[in-house]
Each structure stands twice: as structure tokens, then as C-alpha cells.
Amino acid sequence: MTAQILNGTAAAATIKAELTVRVAALAERGIVPGLATVLVGADPGSQWYVAGKHRDCAEVGIASIKRELPESVTQEELEAVLAELNADPDCTGYIVQLPLPKHIDTDRILECIDPDKDADGLHPTNLGRLVLNANSEISSPLPCTPRGVIELVERNGLSWAGKHVVVVGRGVTVGRPIGPLLTRREFNATVTLTHTGTTDLGAELRRADVIVAAAGVAGIVRAEDVKPGAIVLDVGVSRTTDPETGKSRVVGDVDPSVAAVAAWVSPNPGGVGPMTRALLLKNVVEMAERASA
């Protein structure tokens, strides 16, 4: 058996086409959504992700604003930039690219974002709304990667209802928020959150109908720990240098041998990454629609 592919590049293209129509409808009412990005430092990965966000905005008709700050920026200087964006009417939503340099207090930065402009859904108010809102439809921005994981599965005709989902990784962008989201009544999954400190990770994984691997540990999900027929989503990103070419490449959390056991796998690259980008755009469009309702 070889697993079927959860193709994030294709699903993201469909979402962008849908959003282009919604952005055009807003434009007819004189509303242009505007996404700002705040990039600190010169990490090549972060630069690449941010450049992709601006390309995506242009593709669907969202305006975009770039704020780039040196690695040496102080907490106060960075907070002042966020205050400017909070007050800027052309910026309807923004993100602060993570990770931030070690001398910056990331939690405090996330708290400085106006919750109504929080395109990543990572402000404590929006994470709180995610926890509180167990019954109703989406009414506040949600973290992009968990949303991307959910849509990738659903757009392939699969359902979350009744599934036992084992999440690996406890980071703020994926592992921590995905449980409260998937246990909403509309998805009805049962979720176990594991991490690198879990005593017997293999035993937890073998009970999973769906694995969401977001630990950032290359190959942490091995074929022998996957139930035959499971759905496996690879969110983890580690970089390795190819010894032959000397080029850097992305390695996921899921060992390639898992494809022989699972029913569905998301590739990495080409799976959840493009969905993260597409769902950021969806958050921006939804925020503009809500603000103008």
C-alpha cells in the first residue's frame, strides 16, 4: 500500500481562487484588505516566508505593507512599530514573523497586536476566544497552520468526526491551539497532545487515526509507530545540508517510510506549508469582511 497524497499546493491554489472572488466583492464596496508583515533580522527562512506572504497577497488582490527591522531592534522600538500598525487604517491585519531574536519577549509582542488586526490569531484574546467558542462558527482569527491542517483534510473528502488525533509538539503556532479547535463540535475529534517529553510516544502514536506531527524533530514519526490506514500530516520543519550538493533542504517530522503504512500523508514540502500561507490570506479577508459588516 502507498498512501494517497494530501496535496497542499493544490488545495492552497483553490483557496486563493476563492479568496480572489471575495476580495473583488470587497473592492466593489471600496474596501481593500491590507496585510502588514513585521520581519526582524535576516534569517533566510523567515525572509523567504515573508516574501511568499507578499506574493500571495498580490495574487489575490490584498494590499501589503512591509516593515523590516534589524536583529538589534529593542523591545521598545519593536512595540512602537506595532503601535503604528495598530493605528494605521491601511493595515487591516498584520503578522510578526516568528521566531523573534532571543532578547525580545515574544509573548509581550503578541499581546501588543490589536486583536482585531491579529492575522495570525496568536493574540491571547483570540487564543482565549478559540478556547471559549466550542459551539459556533469561526468569528475571530484562528492560528493559520491548525486551520490549514483542518482544511487540507476536509478538502480531500475526509472527516475529523470521531477520529482520535495525536498531535506531536507543543508550540504556540500549531500544537497548543489545534486541540481546542479540533474538539469544537463542528469537527468532533478527540485529541491527545504529545511532545518530546512524552514517556512512550510510540504507544500514543500507534493509537492514532490521525497524526499531526509538529515537533520540528526530523523523522520523529516512524513507520512502526503508525496504525495501518492512518492519516499523517507532516508539519515539522528542520533544515539539513545535503552532503552531496552542499545545499540546504527541508526535512519533515515524518519518516518517508510512513507512506507504506498510512492511507494518507501530507508531503513536506508541498503539504501544510502552502496551506498555512493560504489560511493567512483567508484570515485577512474574513477580518476585512467582519470589520465592514
Ligand X SMILES: Nc1nc2c(c(=O)[nH]1)N[C@@H](CN(C=O)c1ccc(C(=O)N[C@@H](CCC(=O)O)C(=O)O)cc1)CN2
What span, in angstroms and rounded, lies between the C-alpha atoms of 2 and 106? 41
Binds ligand X by CB under 6 A, chosen from 34, 82, 117, 120: 120
Residue 144 interacts with ligand X (CB under 6 A): yes or no: yes
Site for ligand X in 261-280 (CB under 6 A): 268-270, 273-274, 276-277
Residue 101 interacts with ligand X (CB under 6 A): yes or no: no
Q: By rule CB under 6 A, what string of x and - marks binding of each residue 210-249 to ligand X?
A: ----------------------------------------
- 170 marked as part of a ligand binding site: yes
First to last CA, the chain: 49
The four Cα atoms 283, 137, 16, 275 give a dihedral, to 10 degrees, of: 80
- 216 marked as part of a ligand binding site: no
Q: Which of 16, 56, 118, 120 is catalytic?
A: 120
Residue 97 is a catalytic residue: yes
Binds ligand X by CB under 6 A, chosen from 158, 193, 250, 251: 250
Q: Which of 97, 118, 234, 255 is catalytic?
A: 97
Long-range contacts of 108-113 (CB under 8 A, 24+ apart): 108/75, 108/79, 109/75, 109/78, 109/79, 109/82, 112/79, 112/82, 112/83, 112/86, 113/82, 113/86
- 239 marked as part of a ligand binding site: no
Report whether 232 contacts 226 (CB < 8 A): yes
Binds ligand X by CB under 6 A, chosen from 97, 140, 194, 283: 97
Residue 75 is a catalytic residue: no
Determine the distance from the C-alpha atom of residue 202 to the mean position of all C-alpha atoms in its chain, rounded to a whole number.
25
Cell digits for 7?
A: 496535496
Residue 53 is a catalytic residue: yes
Residue with cell 552531496: 244
Residue 100 Cβ vs ligand X, minimum distance, rounded to whole Å: 9
Other Cβ atoms less than 10 A from the Cβ of 29: the count is 8
- 40 marked as part of a ligand binding site: no
Report whether 168 contacts 220 (CB < 8 A): yes
Which amino acids are annotated as binding site for NADP(+), given as ranges?
Answer: 169-171, 237
Q: Which residues bind ligand X (CB under 6 A)?
A: 49, 95-98, 120, 144-145, 173, 250, 268-270, 273-274, 276-277
- Positions annotated as catalytic residues are 53, 97, 120
